[in-house]
Amino acid sequence: MAEATTYTVTGMTCGHCAQAVRDELERVDGVTEVSVDVATGAVTVRGEQPVPDERVRAAVEEAGYEVAGQQPAV
């Protein structure tokens, strides 16, 4: 079963923003799926194992955005 974590990312305003974040996160080892909701800033990262937060934060920053927090697991 895939592990999923949802983060709040600030600064995204359009589809291009979402694609930039998605592209960077898909390059992170262990990431199997990324979904981005620009309206809420929610970015969900899935992997076979939990993906380390520091790798997620680094990828989001590389795309030019900032992780503002982690959303509670549902």
pLDDT digits (tens, 9 = 90+) for 34-60: 999 999 999 999 998 989 999 999 999
Number of H helices, E strands in the chain: 2, 4
The pTM of the full predicted model, rounded to 2 decimals, is: 0.92
Host domain of residue 61: 3-70
Q: What is the CA radius of gyration of the chain?
A: 11
66 with 3: CB under 8 angstroms?
Answer: no
Q: Which range (5-19, 33-47, 59-73) has the least confidence?
A: 59-73
The domain that holds 10 is classified in CATH as: 3.30.70.100
Does the pLDDT of residue 1 top 80, yes or no? no
- Split into its structural domains, the chain has a count of 1
Count CB-CB contacts under 10 A for residue 3.
Answer: 14
Tokens standing for residue 61 = 């920053």
34 with 22: CB under 8 angstroms?
Answer: yes
